[in-house]
Chain A
Amino acid sequence: MKNLIKIVIIICGTWLWSYYLDWRFSFVWPFLIILLVPHRWAWVDLVVGFFSVFVVWLTAALVIDGGNDSILSSRLAHIFGLPNGPTLVVFCGLLGGILGSLGSLSGHFLNKSLLGTNDPSKNNV
């Protein structure tokens, strides 16, 4: 449940702030959230970070691509050696996901190295 809340917070925060801030914010925001509230296991935070930002980048790209009938994505796909527009949309989502996962993982380990243990009573959220 708490993971779900973190996902929602990361998704909402990334989405809202991305209109005003640099793309690197997609790394910084999950980093901050997980730094404050990490899970016991690193892989869980990795999945949370990846999934949240993946969803944001993918959905934003999908909405735009739909309104554009994939005109631009299919043209750009050629430049990047991808077969078609939808692949470019997924690629975009993956790129966001990687940023998110690296952010959350860094946040996780920083928290652990500062606060010390993997004590389940403290951090199992």
Chain B
Amino acid sequence: MRMKNFWKFIITISASITLLVLLSRSLVLGDQPLPPLGHFFNPFTGFWSQAESGKAGSQEQFSSTFLADSVHIAFNQRMIPHVYASHSADAFYAQGYLHAKNRLFQMELTARAIYGRLSEILGPETLERDIFARRINFPGIVEKKLEAWSQHPDMMAFLESYVEGVNDYILSLKPPFYPLEYKLLGIRPELWSVRKTLAISVSLAATLNLNLDDFGHTNTVWILGPELYHKLFPIFPDTLLPIDIEKASYPDSVPELPSQDYENFEYLKDQLTHGTNKGVGSNNWAVRASLTRDSFPILASDPHLRLTLPNIWYEIQMHSPDFHTHGVSIPGMPSIIIGFNRHVAWGLTNSSLDVLDAYKIKWIDKSKGVYDIDGEERQAELRTEKISIKNHSDHVEEVYDTHWGPVLYGHGEDDDHNIAIQWITSEPGESCELRTMWELMKAQSLEDYQEAISHFYAPGQNIVFASVQDSIAITVQGHFPVKRPGQGRFILDGSKSENSWMGIIPQEHLPQMINPERGYVVSANEWPTYPEYPYFYAGRFDHYRGRTIAGYLESLQPLNMERMKDIQTSYFNLKAAELVPRMLEFVTERSSFKDSLENWDYGYTPDNPLPTFTELWIRECLRLSFDEIALPDSMRNMEPEEWRFLELLNDPFDPIFDIKETKTTVESAGDLIRTAWQAARTSYLQITQERRPWGRSNGLSIPHLLGISAFSHLDLFTGGNGDTVNATTKTNGPSWRMIVEMSADSVTAHVIYPGGQSGNPGSPYYDNFIADWIQGKYYPVAIHTQSQQIAQSLNYSIYLTPQ
């Protein structure tokens, strides 16, 4: 009997141990890696700890040796923290604490992306990204920024206070309360550091001004030859409305430089490939009191970025003896990036100027890293990067750092793609963006604004400004290299030192407008100036949104908050409005479908199927017109913009309209547009009736940072595209909408962003703004200098106290 029971014990205990081991290990379900299930499902330690309940009426206490004085953080019903501190350093400590409490995983993931350490936690899938981060040497740029910021000890003190706030929160965090993503990945949070904050700022620059179009332009000029290339890719459009329209104010004492010589690209024996991102854009504008109904200046700002959950922004109101400011911050960075106080408001759009140039290295002995500049031998430094990969052995990447910068692609003996890059972000000089943000947070006048922005170097931004004193301004702010005409459009010969940049454009020569006669300033990633501006620049500029906004600001006067909201959420597409009627002139067919296009208001509303057809038609027209630029799929090329296609239509018999596929006939623009019309009709009719409305074929998806669909909002019913002021695409959109009315009595704003304050998918505040954002709703905001004044208070507070 005893023996029998013994064997039964052996069987049950074996089964138990097997189960315990299985539940202790990470499993894979389909493509989805799962965390150890025993721990994960345990209601006391597992994911259930992230199932947040409401916080109304509750209080939390936290004490720290770092604080000089107590800080009170009161939340309103949208979970927006209002930080009340007696010292600015304490306010930044509180901001760090809040960022960590709400967005810890987002911060860590962003910093890891810059350090090329994603694969360490995510496996081989992110190895390419890590290799890129290491090759371009993002971590090296962090070190340079640290040097630059160290020259601003007062700012470093704020940053250290912020870092302390983050780390105090992390250290207080017990494993059951690690954010869900840490549990899913089976990792623990890493401590924060000054360097990681700087990594976040490098990440912003990488998103906004890391423009690798030089590769595509070089491929394209190879295919087309210089003459046709310049015809298809003029730097300025005919109908140009730049940011700075005051030609008289352009600097006039700038020496003229000779054009860049590419010597038929003799130094480029091969062609290059690389993808790049498109669709990062933004709007901002400010109007003076004279144009508004209530006689207050109004400022509007909506940066368009790739949308994720959680959102890139974290809304916050901060009070200290130095400032009373409301706006959005970026988790991982102290300060408010876009916002307003009781005197001024400011907003940002990306300047889109090309600040990255590529250089072909002429090796003398590649294995030893010896290369040629001006006939002299130079020695490249070999950098060895070791990348850890989860559940795999390490990857080792060797990179040469040259005079120009790191060799971005190719290191193997057989690999001829030896292109080094020079990127303005890697040369911070003495700039400290925190000083800009800090000074803007406490700015009271136009002069304060000008002083504040002068410390800002990259990513170059169009910084708009308005004050209660009825001043408005816009500055194309940043470090922009002085270049020869044409320099850096294509890959440059790296064996000639004369191909260097010639300094940076002086601050006083940057395009800017202050209180212009027309009463408003506007930017939407368009050209900063007319061609008369004496410095050469190129870039990827938007031709439609800025002109649309300017049109509205002219026609909708007197302006007020409601009209500003209508502009920000407008689906009107100027590109379609200019192109479609012109293209329809060539369509001979009579049909109700054509009539509906003719009578259309060019609104890219979600329920309308016409944008779906229009985009197909334009795409087909461009494909057939520019079929000269035929490259293998693996090669990246550039395609002329729609505005250039419209300009070329002025001569319908231009040979560019000949369709290469039809070898025996020669087509005109009319033939081409009709052929494209038929092709687009066929494609359109192949789409099922339900999928034809624009919102169905082009709806926005907001994915979770790890792409977990259950934590994402996919296929939303949204309108617009990159050319509408409400620039919502499948992946990008207005990541923050803000409209501020600058009344001297009380500055008030209307704001919203597509997400929620909490980064926790188990929180009711994870995605609670999305539905309102899609509907174009806003939330009213005011500066509350005392916590008792907070409108719609949640009666939820955190008290940070000195120990």
Q: Which of B42, B51, B763 contacts A23 (CB 8 A)?
A: B42
Known: A42-B8, A57-B41. 6 other contacts (CB 8 A): A65-B48, A72-B51, A81-B29, A95-B38, A109-B9, A112-B8
- Within 8 Å CB of A102, what residues of B? 12, 15-16, 19
Q: Which residues of B contact A109 (CB under 8 A)?
A: 5-6, 8-9, 12-13
Which residues of chain B (730-765) have a CB below 8 Å from chain A? 761-764
Q: Contacts A23-B39, A71-B764, A118-B1 known; A79 to B708 CB distance under 8 Å?
A: yes
- CB contacts (< 8 Å) of A72 on chain B: these are 47-48, 50-51, 180, 761-762
**Cα separation A76 to B38 with both chains bound (whole Å):** 15
Which residues between 32 and 65 of chain B lie within 8 Å of chain A, taking CB atoms? 32, 34, 37-39, 41-48, 50-54
Interface residue? B590 (CB, 8 A): no
Q: DSSP class of A's interface residues: helix, strand, loop or mixed? A: helix
With a cutoff of 8 Å between Cβ atoms, the chain B residues found around residue A95 in the complex are 23, 37-38, 41
Question: How far is the CB of A44 from the nearest CB of chain B, in Å?
Answer: 15
Q: Would B16 and A27 count as touching, CB distance under 8 A?
A: yes
Interface: A18 (CB within 8 A): yes
| Known contacts A92-B43, A105-B12; is-contact A76 B52 (Cβ 8 Å) | no
Closest to B14 in A: A106
Q: Is B710 an interface residue (CB 8 A)?
A: yes
B796: CB under 8 A from chain A?
no
Measured between alpha carbons, how far is A77 from B47 in the docked complex, in Å?
Answer: 12
Chain A residues within an 8 Å CB radius of B54:
67
Q: List 21 A-B contacts (CB under 8 A).
A: A19-B44, A23-B23, A23-B45, A57-B41, A60-B48, A68-B764, A71-B761, A71-B766, A72-B51, A72-B762, A77-B710, A79-B34, A80-B34, A96-B42, A98-B19, A99-B19, A102-B15, A106-B12, A109-B5, A113-B2, A113-B8
Q: Determine whether the beta carbon of B44 is less than 8 Å from that of A60.
A: yes
A52 at the interface (CB under 8 A from B): no
| Of A23, A64, A79, A106, most B-chain CB atoms within 10 Å | A23
Question: Does B38 contact A23, Cβ atoms closer than 8 Å?
Answer: yes
Let me know if B265 is at the binding interface, CB within 8 A.
Answer: no
Report A-chain residues with C-beta under 8 Å of the C-beta of B708.
79
B711 at the interface (CB under 8 A from A): yes
Cβ–Cβ contact A68 & B12, under 8 A: no
In the complex, A67→B16 CA distance in Å?
33
Task: Check if A117 sits within 8 Å of B1, measured CB to CB.
Answer: yes
A23 and B38 alpha carbons, distance in the complex (Å): 7
Does chain A have a CB within 8 A of B709? yes
Q: Does B20 contact A (CB under 8 A)?
A: yes
Q: From the candidates A18, A106, A116, name the one contacting B16 in the complex (CB within 8 A).
A: A106
**Contact indicator A18/B12 (Cβ below 8 Å):** no
Min Cβ gap A31→B in Å is 8
Complex-state Cα separation, A103 to B9, whole angstroms: 11
Q: Which residues on the B side are within 8 Å of A18 (C-beta)? A: 42-45
The answer, among A24, A79, A117, for a CB contact under 8 Å with B32, is A79
> Chain A's nearest CB lies how many Å from the CB of B4?
8
Residues of chain B with a CB closer than 8 A to A22's CB:
39, 45
Which residues on B are within 8 Å of A, measured CB to CB?
1-3, 5-6, 8-9, 12-13, 15-16, 19-20, 23-24, 29, 32, 34, 37-39, 41-48, 50-54, 180, 708-711, 761-764, 766
Q: Which of A12-51 contact B (CB under 8 A)?
A: 18-19, 22-24, 26-27, 42
Docked pose: A95 CA to B38 CA in angstroms: 8
**Inter-subunit contact B9/A68 (CB<8 Å):** no
Does A71 contact B39, Cβ atoms closer than 8 Å? no
Q: List the count of A-B residue pairs having beta carbons below 8 Å apart.
A: 122
A99 to B20, CA, bound (A): 8
Distance in angstroms between the alpha carbons of A81 and B425 in the assembled complex: 45
Please classify how large the interface on chain A is, using the bins under 10, 10 to 19, 20 to 34, 35 or more: 35 or more
Return A90 CB to nearest CB of chain B, in Å.
11
Inter-subunit contact A68/B710 (CB<8 Å): no
Residues of A contacting B43 with CB < 8 Å?
18, 57, 60-61, 64, 92
**Known pairs A75-B711, A92-B41, A105-B12; A23 contacts B46 (CB<8 A):** yes
- Which of A91, A96, A113 is within 8 Å of B6, CB to CB? A113
Residue from B9, B37, B45, B761 whose CB has the most chain A CB atoms within 10 Å: B9
Contact between B1 and A68, CB atoms less than 8 A apart: no
User: Are A68 and B39 within 8 A (Cβ)?
Assistant: no
Instruction: State A72–B50 Cα separation when bound (angstroms).
Output: 8
Indicate if the CB atoms of B51 and A67 lie closer than 8 Å.
Answer: yes
Q: Judge whether A79 and B42 touch: CB under 8 Å.
A: no
Complex Cα spacing A64 to B41, Å: 12
Minimum CB–CB distance from B73 to chain A (whole Å) comes to 22
A103 touches B32 (CB 8 A): no
Chain A residues numbered 98-125 whose CB sits less than 8 Å from any CB in chain B: 98-99, 102-103, 105-106, 109-110, 112-113, 116-118
Q: How far is the CB of B214 from chain A (nearest CB, A)?
A: 42
Q: Which residues of A contact B6 (CB under 8 A)?
A: 109, 113
Closest 6 CB pairs of A and B: A72-B762, A67-B53, A109-B9, A60-B43, A68-B51, A112-B5
Q: How far is the CA of A17 from the CA of B23 in the complex (A)?
A: 19
Contacts of B8 in A (CB 8 A): 42, 109, 112-113
State whether B37 touches A79 (Cβ < 8 A): no
**Residue of B23, B38, B51 touching A64 (CB-CB under 8 A):** B51
Question: Which residues of chain B have C-beta atoms less than 8 A from A23's C-beta?
Answer: 23, 38-39, 41-42, 44-46
Q: How far is the CA of A55 from the CA of B247 in the complex (A)?
A: 78
A residues in contact with B15, CB < 8 Å = 102
Q: Which residues does chain B contribute within 8 Å of A92, judged by CB atoms?
A: 41, 43, 48
Distance between Cα atoms of A41 and B12 in the complex (Å): 15
* Bound Cα distance A112, B1 (Å): 9
**Residue numbers in A under 8 Å from B3 (CB-CB):** 113
Given A18-B44, A57-B42, A109-B12; A65-B19 close (CB under 8 Å): no
Min Cβ gap A13→B in Å is: 13
Given A75-B711, A109-B12, A69:B45 Cβ within 8 A: no
Asked whether, in the complex, the Cβ of A80 is within 8 Å of the Cβ of B1, the reply is no
By the criterion CB–CB under 8 Å, are A113 and B5 in contact? yes
* A80 and B5 contact, CB distance less than 8 A: no
Question: Within 8 Å CB of A116, what residues of B?
Answer: 1-2
Q: How far is the CA of A60 from the CA of B766 in the complex (A)?
A: 23
Please, which residues of chain A bring their CB within 8 A of the CB of B20? 24, 27
Chain A residues, CB < 8 A from B19? 98-99, 102
A41 CB, nearest partner CB in chain B, Å: 13
Report how far A93 CA is from B52 CA in the complex, Å: 20
Chain A residue numbers with a CB within 8 Å of B23 are 23, 95
Given contacts A71-B764, A98-B19, contact A106 B9 (CB under 8 A): yes
**Which residues of the other chain, B, contact A117 by a CB distance below 8 angstroms?**
1-2
Residues of chain B contacted by A61 (CB below 8 angstroms): 43, 48
Chain A min CB distance to B50 (Å): 6
Name the CB-closest residue of A to B13.
A106
Interface centre among A22, A61, A72 (most CB of B within 10 A): A72
In the complex, chain B residues whose CB is within 8 Å of the CB of A112: 1-2, 5, 8-9
The interface residues of chain A lying within 8 Å CB-to-CB of B46 are: 23
* Complex-state Cα separation, A27 to B24, whole angstroms: 13
In the assembled complex, the CB of A71 is this many whole angstroms from the nearest CB of chain B, namely 6
Query: Which of the listed residues B44, B180, B762 has the most CB atoms from chain A within 10 Å of its own CB?
Result: B44
B47 touches A76 (CB 8 A): yes
A54: shortest Cβ distance to chain B, in Å? 12
* Contact present for B709 and A113 (CB under 8 Å): no
* Centre residue among A26, A57, A96, A102 by max chain B CB count within 10 A: A102
Residues of B within 8 A of A78 (CB): 709-710
The reply to whether B710 and A76 contact each other, CB–CB distance below 8 Å, is: yes
Question: In this complex, what residue of A is CB-closest to B49?
Answer: A64
When distances are taken between beta carbons in the complex, the residues of chain B under 8 Å from A106 are 9, 12-13, 16
Minimum C-beta distance from B588 to chain A (A) = 52
Nearest residue, chain A, Cβ from B710: A78
Q: Give the CA-CA distance A76 to B48 in the complex, in Å.
A: 10
